[in-house]
Structures are given as structure tokens and as C-alpha cells.
Amino acid sequence: MPELTVGVDLGGTNIKVGLVTDRGEIVHRHRVTTESQRGPEAVAERICGACRDLLAAAGSAADSVRGVGVGSPGTIDIANGVVLFSPNLVGWHDIPLRGLIEDGLGMRCVIDNDANVAALAEQWVGVGQGAGSLVLLTLGTGIGGGIVLDGRIWHGGRGVAGEVGHMSIHPDGPVCGCGNRGCLEAYASATAMVRRMRETIAAGTPTVLAEHADELTAARIHAAAVAGDQAARENIEQTGRYLGLGVSNLMHILNPEAVAFSGGVTAAGEMLLDPVRREVRWRTLEASRRDVRISLSALPEDAGLIGAARCFMLA
């Protein structure tokens, strides 16, 4: 019987848990709502409850479970297992999540940042399989990321590496929520797509989205582009070009073997990836881009829990 590890993907809306084999397969899974409004201790108890249900459903297979890996949003003090701050979980400041879970389940636990563990999963059994190094960009309301080097998450000196969305691609660009100017996130997140689409509409460019200017989303822009709307297509094309610049910078700096995108904005698929790849081609040295894989996530639903389990295995 293979050894199993519990992976936990803690999100703002749902908690996903799964039993993960040493080869990255999920043999049992379970999901509960997060109910973060009830506070950190209640969320930790919901995680423990979901894990207990998972282990009960697995029956005797649960005997070989070694421990629990958790991917959490926010800034994590990995050495001490503490969530320092999480903008997506209200009231989470200095929450000793690892200790709460270890006490609740009587099992060893490891926690890490959700984008970091997702990057680890992609490198392990996703688009980066066989590659030692991978950078993941998570494209949503903001842009996050994770960096895997030699098969391990690169955390940096203070544990906050991988903030690829806050690299500046324009000295005088738009002000970002972080205080910096010209962040990639301010050009290529879903929020930035919507802002640019509003500007396009305000400039009088014809588009079917003009009548929905107040309720724009990246998904609506994509739907309009698929339906042939030229302004919407140009919006996604431009988003891809900005992302390509960001990826090119990451390749010059880190020369990874693989680059992956995940998150809601990737629903645009090849319409987004095409301009990314074109931009990378002319901006990046041949030696650096040769053989590099630039792809959408291969594990859009499961990277979080697989990566969390992997994180425990490597600890």
C-alpha cells in the first residue's frame, strides 16, 4: 500500500482536502465551505473536521497517512507554522495554524503559501513534470506566484519570494495597491483588464461591452472576444503582451525550465498564451528560451492540495 499524505487547500470560499500518494495521485477527496467570517480558530477546526471525514472515508488506507500539508493564502512564517497575514481571510494576523491543526488531528503538519504549493505541484506532476525549475503566475484579481528551483520552493530570506505580480514593468506606471508603480499586476490582472476595457469604452471604441461598462469582468471580456468583439480581443492580446514581458524578465533572471499560468484569467486559453509566447520570443535571449515550456496549469483544480501534500513530503 502506498504511503499517503493529506493535502489541504485553504481558500477564501472552500477548504479542499485530499489523500495524495507518493506519485501525486489523489485517492480520496473532500470539500467543505471555509466560513471564514467565523474566525481563524473555527476555520482551523473546519480543516480538522474535513480531514477527519476524509480519513474516515478512506478506511484502512488512512493507516498509512504520514501527516498534513496545508496551502494557505497570505504571508506565512514557515519555520513557525504561522499565518502572519492573509488579505483573503478576514482577521487573520499571526495565526498559529500549524499548531492548531497538529493539536486537532494529532498528526504532524507543514504549512506554506498557496501559490508556492501550487507551483510545487505543477513542477512535480503538472506542466513542469521532469523540469527542476518552474515559475507559476496566478492570474486573478491580483497576480501572485511561486518559484520552484531544484524541485523545492524558493522562499527567499524572509519567506516572501515569488511576488512576481509586483515587479514593475514601467517606472511611472499606474499606482498599485502595494504602493509601487507600474506593477505587472496593474497591467495584466483581471482588475487591470477591466480597467483598460473601461478606458477603451470611455474612448468611444465600438464594443459590445459598452452597455456593460459597470459590470465588466475578465470572463465577460473573454466571452466577447470569443464572439468576435475586436476591442475585447485587443484587450486580451495586450494583457498577454504585458504578461510576456513579465515572463521574459523572469527568464532573464532565473532561466527556469517551465513557466505556468493559473487562475481565472487563464480561461482565455490560447488567446492569452499566443501573445505571451510571441512577446517572450523577441524579448528573451535564445539561450534562455530554448526548450522552455510556457503553459497553462495542468492541475487547475488540484494544484493546491497536491502541492500542499508534496510540501509535507519534502519537509
Residues making contact with a second copy (CB under 8 A): 75, 131-133, 147, 149, 154-164, 166-171, 178-181, 241-242, 245, 248-250, 252-257, 282-285, 287-288, 290-292
Nearer to a second copy, 187 or 312 (CB): 187
Nearer to a second copy, 234 or 257 (CB): 257
Nearest distance from residue 200's CB to a second copy, in Å?
Answer: 18
Nearer to a second copy, 248 or 297 (CB): 248
Nearest distance from residue 179's CB to a second copy, in Å?
Answer: 6
Nearer to a second copy, 75 or 217 (CB): 75
Nearer to a second copy, 149 or 210 (CB): 149
Please state the three-class secondary structure of the chain as a single string.
CCCEEEEEEECCCEEEEEEEECCCCEEEEEEEECCHHHCHHHHHHHHHHHHHHHHHHHHHHHHHEEEEEEEECCEEECCCCEEEECCCCCCCEEECHHHHHHHHHCCCEEEEEHHHHHHHHHHHHCCCCCCCCEEEEEECCCEEEEEEECCEECCCCCCCCCCHHHCECCCCCCECCCCCECECHHHHCHHHHHHHHHHHHHCCCCCHHHHHHHHCCHHHHHHHHHCCCHHHHHHHHHHHHHHHHHHHHHHHHHCCCEEEEECHHHHHCHHHHHHHHHHHHHHCCHHHHCCCEEEECCCCCCHHHHHHHHHHHHC
121/125 Cα distance (integer angstroms): 6
Nearest distance from residue 305's CB to a second copy, in Å?
Answer: 25
Nearest distance from residue 129's CB to a second copy, in Å?
Answer: 14
Nearer to a second copy, 191 or 238 (CB): 238
Sheet (strand 26-33) strand order? 26-33, 14-21, 4-10, 65-72, 109-113
Nearest distance from residue 257's CB to a second copy, in Å?
Answer: 4
Nearer to a second copy, 53 or 77 (CB): 77
Nearest distance from residue 164's CB to a second copy, in Å?
Answer: 6
Nearest distance from residue 58's CB to a second copy, in Å?
Answer: 37
